[in-house]
Amino acid sequence: MTHPAEGTAPASPGSHPSGAGGVYRPGLTAAEVAERVARGQVNDVPVRSSRSVREIVRANVFTRFNAIIGVMFGIILVVGPIQDGLFGLVIVANTAIGIIQELRAKKTLDSLALIGEARPQVRRDGAAVQVATGEIVLDDTVLLGIGDKAVVDGTVTEADGLEIDESLLTGEPDPVHKHPGDHVMSGSFVVAGAGAFTATKVGREAYAAKLAEEASRFTLVKSELRSGIDQILRIITYLLIPTALGLIVSQLAVQRHDWQEAVRRMVAGIVPMVPEGLVLLTSVAFAIGVIRLGRQQCLVQELPAIEGLARVDTVCLDKTGTLTEGGMDLIDLRPIGDAAKSRIAEALGAIGAADTRPNPSMQAVIDAYGPPEEGRWRLLEAIPFSSARKWSGVQLLEPGGTEGSWLLGAPDVLLPDGHPALAEVDELGAKGLRVLLLGRSPLPLDAPDPAAELEPLALLVLQQRVREDAADTLRYFRSQDVRAKVISGDSAVSVGAVAAHLGLPGAETATDARKLPADPEQLAEVAERTAVFGRVTPQQKRALVGALQSKGHTVAMTGDGVNDVLALKDADIGVAMGTGSDATRAVAQIVLLDDRFATLPSVVAEGRRVIGNIERVAGLFLVKTVYSVLLAMLVVFTQVPYPFLPRHSTVLSSLTIGIPAFFLALAPNNERARTGFVRRVLRLAVPGGLICGTATFVAYALARADHDTALKADTSVATLTLFITAIWVLAIVARPYTWWRLLLIGTMSGAFALVLVVPWLSDFFQLQLVGWRDPLIGVAIAAVAGCLLEITSRLFVERKPKEEAHAE
């Protein structure tokens, strides 16, 4: 975030102040703008906050698993009956739900992106006006101030201490001083000074647009969740072909006179192996996460950020604008020595009048003193604030005809060590107040060190407005085992006082970043044990984020000023404020459009809900895959008819996995995500699937041993056994229980009971239990399998924290 002294003297939008280099241009006329619009010379790069409708439809329709299920459905249409093709409805349902949810997410993203879009200033007909990025035309005069991003390419025409950071484009970390005639690349941003440039390349011809055309596309990269699911799906794909071949050969050998029945049972063995709903639910969970966060004015610019938030264990916060509100009040002016208060007030008015883009601290000065009497003070030159200097300055022609350089900035930077005023500064800072020093130097601003002969004249005492929700938000992070660290450019004493007022643990031992070690290992040790840092430079913010990451932490960084950009880029998750600079919004994965710090707990909770629930339901889907593979292998080796028809697989999958998983995927979940997604899922899926498959096959084999029953009765016993074991797995996954989860399990069990007892349903699904012995044996086998499932879940599955139960 910007330092309080960041109020500088940039070029006035409508005039060319003394000291600024270049040639003033009044800008294009309305007629010239209209002419260029007619020629198509407009910055018409489309906003790509999400995939296009065409891409969404194509991505949801043409999937690997839709192809597999579609082929199986086509086979059933040939061999019949239609009841065995019910699984084909899965394609329609999955595709429709996926498309609808992603279109909803797209609508949310696009509308939020429009709200958060930068509106640069251009000069037209001699006046500065704000326009949408897409309304800039060729040869427009674009104005630049601190934090502004160049949205098109151009040539500098005016420069007043203009420094531009091009690191996002070139990788060079140091800002570049720009002079009239120098080139400006779109995507770079202003870190100091002010100026203007003429647009020479707009639209897709601009440098950044060529890079952004690919970079801004909707992507789901760098996601452990996605990569883990893809890894699992690749393995399943490799298993499908040999299993299908084995099944068709074995079923043809068993059903010698009925190839259609053999094909139906082969399809029944293949379809359950495909966890098609897992991919759907992952997309739906991400999409609903975007929609939920969008309702809270939170723009998710990269979807993997939702998952990344679930893994965050450290949040780095800047003080100004995050813990405190943007507004400030000047509550005291304390002259130093014999300085006349009236003269100081006039000088402050002149300094404030020179700043056309005042930040909150400078605005407080302007509000307190206003402009001086016209003609008494004249601006000769200005040096803008920079994070490295920690001060800004103006050279003024004073009322008596003398010239002097007036500097406004951090007292501990402008004053030598041991100066008596520093004790007063520390005393005020300890109360959470912000203090600036005003001094006058006889040296010109272009001297090697204008502050070398500085005469301190006054201390400006400003009071920040602490956000009402800041304390509650910090308490939330502490309760969720997420450590908060305050990293600010303000004085360590002042930052520590605000943090202590908000109840941040460790705030009483704030560290001055100028004393931080340069060695990366030593810095990591300090970063690990320290909660509050003051006087942090942009490079140090970046270094502290890297130091925390080197200790294995997943770091989120919040910020709104240009000095936060480097740290935001390097953090695992960058969170920018909506009213922050264009540069911070450009590099952040998440933008809080309404600047509400209190939104962060909701953002973190949404990330945890998404990844925690996907991990939960992934176990359900993969249990089905494992028992399907096992049953297929047992059938191939024993040369018996496959126990199920496709319609049986449809009812089993729907009641024990598909419908329950949809509800579980959207439930609350506050557990912080950890690495090892695939390992944890397989800990449930492999033993659970083996137990379910073995129990089902044993019950089926025992039923077949009773030669008085038909294949239909044997299949019914196997279906009953598999349903009980699968619903038991659901009961394990659904823990800890809540009323709605118990109702969900009960409803699925009741639905299956209806299939068994309602005549037309049992006929439709070809399920008919004959006698009592075989069904009771199946139930007994399922009960034993359930006990084994309980044992293995306690041995292999990592338990969820107790806090999750309370959160729900």
Enzyme catalytic residues: 318
Maximum Cα–Cα distance across the chain = 119
On whether the CB atoms of residues 533 and 492 are closer than 8 A, the answer is: yes
Question: Of 688, 689, 698, 691, nearest to 718 (Cα)?
Answer: 698
User: In this structure, which amino acid lies at residue 445?
Assistant: L
Angstrom distance (rounded) from CA 533 to CA 514: 10
Question: Of 317, 316, 315, 321, nearest to 3 (Cα)?
Answer: 321
Q: Tell me the three-class secondary structure of 162-220, residue by residue.
A: EEEECHHHHCCCCCEECCCCCEECCCCEEEEEEEEEEEEECHHHCHHHHHHHHHCCCCC
CA distances from 656 to 88, 548, 668, 700, 719 (A): 18, 43, 20, 19, 12
On whether the CB atoms of residues 98 and 779 are closer than 8 A, the answer is: no
Beta-bridge partner residues of 408 = 392, 438
User: In this structure, which amino acid lies at residue 656?
Assistant: T
Angstrom distance (rounded) from CA 165 to CA 150: 10
On whether the CB atoms of residues 607 and 307 are closer than 8 A, the answer is: yes
Angstrom distance (rounded) from CA 28 to CA 125: 6
Question: Of 302, 217, 292, nearest to 575 (Cα)?
Answer: 302
Q: What would the DSSP string read from start to end of 244-301?
A: HHHHHHHHHHHSTT-HHHHHHHHHHHHGGG--HHHHHHHHHHHHHHHHHHHHTTEEES
On whether the CB atoms of residues 651 and 645 are closer than 8 A, the answer is: no
Residue with tokens 């060590």: 417
User: In this structure, which amino acid lies at residue 650?
Assistant: T
What DSSP character marks residue 563?
G
CB-based contacts of 87, cutoff 8 Å, min separation 6: 69, 72, 73, 271, 646, 649, 650, 653
Percentages of the chain per state (helix, strand, coil), in multiples of 5: 55, 15, 30
* Angle (deg, nearest 10), helices 739-757 and 711-733: 180
CA distances from 119 to 25, 496, 518 (A): 20, 36, 40
CA distances from 161 to 8, 146, 180, 440 (A): 10, 11, 11, 20
Question: Quick one: CA torsion of 500, 505, 509, 513, rounded to 10 degrees?
Answer: -90
Angstrom distance (rounded) from CA 615 to CA 307: 12
Angstrom distance (rounded) from CA 22 to CA 19: 10
Q: Provide the b/e sequence for 709-722 (b: ≥16 CB within 10 Å).
A: beeebbbbbbbbbb
Question: Of 401, 396, 403, nearest to 353 (Cα)?
Answer: 396
| Beta pairing class for 183-184 and 153-165 | antiparallel
Residue with tokens 């659901």: 730
